[in-house]
Structure 1
Amino acid sequence: MLKERIRSTDVREPADGLWSNCLRIGDLVMVSGMTARADDGETVVGGDYDQAMVVFGKIKNLVEAAGGVMDDVVKMTIYVTEIGNNTEVWKARQEFFTGDFPACTLVEVSSLAKPEIRLEIEATAVVGCSS
Structure 2
Amino acid sequence: MKIQRITSPEVTEPAPGTWSNCLKVGDTVYVAGLTARDRNLKPAGGCEYDQAKLIFERIGHLVTAAGGTMQDVVKINIFLTRIEHREEVWRARREFFEGAFPVATLVEVSSLAQPEILVEIEAVAVLGHGGRPA
- The TM-score bracket by the shorter chain reads over 0.9
Q: Which amino acid aligns with 1:72?
A: D
Q: 1:96 — aligned with what?
A: 96
Q: Which moved more, 1:19-28 or 1:37-46?
A: 37-46
The alignment's TM-score, normalised by the length of structure 2, stands at 0.96
Secondary structure of 1:120's aligned partner: strand
Q: Which amino acid aligns with 1:70?
A: M
Structure 1: give runs of 5+ residues left out of the alignment: none
> Distance in 1 between the 2:2 and 2:70 partners?
23
Q: Does residue 6 of the first structure (1) align with residue 3 of the second (2)?
A: no
> Distance in 2 between the 1:45 and 1:128 partners?
32
> Distance in 2 between the 1:65 and 1:111 partners?
30
Map Cα deviations across residues 50-82 of structure 1 (whole Å, 9 max, x no partner): 000110011000000000100100001000000
Q: Which runs of 4+ in 1 moved over 4 A?
A: none
**Identity rate, percent:** 56
Map Cα deviations across residues 12-58 of structure 1 (whole Å, 9 max, x no partner): 00010000000000000000000001111111131000000110011
Aligned CA-pair RMSD:
0.7
The alignment's TM-score, normalised by the length of structure 1, stands at 0.98
Q: Does residue 86 of the first structure (1) align with residue 86 of the second (2)?
A: yes
Structure 2: give runs of 5+ residues left out of the alignment: none
How many residue pairs end up in the alignment? 131
